[in-house]
Amino acid sequence: MSIIEATILAIVEGLTEFLPVSSTGHMIIASSLMGIAEAPFTKTFTVTIQSGAILSVVVLYWRRFLQSGDFYLKLFVAFLPAAIVGFVFNDYIDRLLDRVEVVGATLIIGGVVFLLIDRGFKENEASGSESITFRVALKIGLYQCIAMIPGVSRSAATIIGGVSEKLTKKAAAEFSFFLAVPTMAAATGYKLLKFYQAGGGFTPSEMTSLAVGNAVAFVVAMFAIKSFITFLTNHGFKVFGYYRIVAGIIILVLYMSGVKLSV
């Protein structure tokens, strides 16, 4: 993987990780178009650079992470369902990740869902709550489990879950960002542990790619998060619905055309 390829993938990661459009689907498109989708290092790279995206949330919302008390308890309650499901069904989830057609189909289905529910979420905005109870945190955590299906998008599932529980779009999106920190950190750590247990290691050039990738993902994710909150509050989910449908169609067309796709 060249530095340019690492930078492009990191930009894609930073832009899509916290948007409800599936970073997995976009990684498939980007890595496949660059011809590096099947390289063994690519999968490890796409997981590891999530660390840069995670750090962007902590930096942007550092005051919230200095809170004590039930802030972390609510995050733990929301994190627990996905942690349990991910641990129990990890092998099955990994097999689904190899089913690129599943990613394309779920992108399209999710896009249609966004178009159908956008009007209802707009009506909810005027009376939505900014307060997250333990019950709401648990339900958002259960929604996050749906994102174990590749292409669903973790942020899409959790934001929809939050708004379905009568949160404002802003409150739902911000809690989705916070929940990403323990969820993505656990997923990244687990993947790296398995990588090293299998005898893996990084060459100096791969370490350079990882360093560049994390730095770029950090900067781009900060921009994406700040822009997304404003856009979502003002415009809702409709644009993301159309975008997901287009991205899903691109993946399915590439897949059916015989292009080698992997994630």
Q: Is residue 123 one of the residues assigned to a domain?
A: yes
Q: Is residue 174 one of the residues assigned to a domain?
A: yes
Q: How far apart are alpha carbons 120 and 205 in whole angstroms?
A: 50
- Strand, coil or helix: what is 167? strand
Higher-pLDDT residue of 85 and 125 is 85
DSSP character for 259? Answer: -
> DSSP states of 77-140 as a string?
HHHHHHHHHHHHTHHHHHHHHT-HHHHHHHHHHHHHHHHHHHHHHHHHHTT-B----HHHHHHH
Confidence class of residue 76 from pLDDT cuts 50, 70 and 90? very high
Q: How far apart are alpha carbons 250 and 233 in whole angstroms?
A: 28
Q: Supply the pTM of this predicted model.
A: 0.82
Q: How far apart are alpha carbons 113 and 163 in whole angstroms?
A: 14
Average pLDDT on 9-31 reads 85
- Residue 1 and residue 30 in contact, taking contact as beta carbons nearer than 8 Å: no
**What confidence tens digit (pLDDT) does each residue in 213-229 have?**
999 999 999 989 988 88
CA 255 centroid distance within chain = 22
Average pLDDT on 65-91 reads 85
**What confidence tens digit (pLDDT) does each residue in 108-164 have?**
998 888 888 776 666 655 555 678 889 999 999 999 998 888 888 888 899 888 888
Q: Is residue 116 one of the residues assigned to a domain?
A: yes
Q: Is the pLDDT of residue 78 over 90?
A: yes
Percent of the chain whose pLDDT exceeds 90: 22
Q: Is residue 190 one of the residues assigned to a domain?
A: yes
In degrees, rounded to 5, the angle at the alpha carbon of residue 147 between the alpha carbons of residues 150 and 42 is 40
Structural domain total, the chain = 1
Q: Tokens at residue 223, please? A: 């921009």
Q: Is the pLDDT of residue 89 over 60?
A: yes
What average pLDDT does the chain have? Answer: 84
Higher-pLDDT residue of 211 and 28 is 211
Q: How far apart are alpha carbons 29 and 258 in whole angstroms?
A: 13
Q: Is the pLDDT of residue 233 over 60?
A: yes
Q: Is residue 263 one of the residues assigned to a domain?
A: no
Q: Is the pLDDT of residue 262 over 60?
A: no
Q: Is residue 262 one of the residues assigned to a domain?
A: no
Average pLDDT on 65-72 reads 81
Q: Is residue 225 one of the residues assigned to a domain?
A: yes
CA nearest to 161, candidates 127, 137, 133, 185:
137
Q: Which domain holds residue 239?
A: 3-256
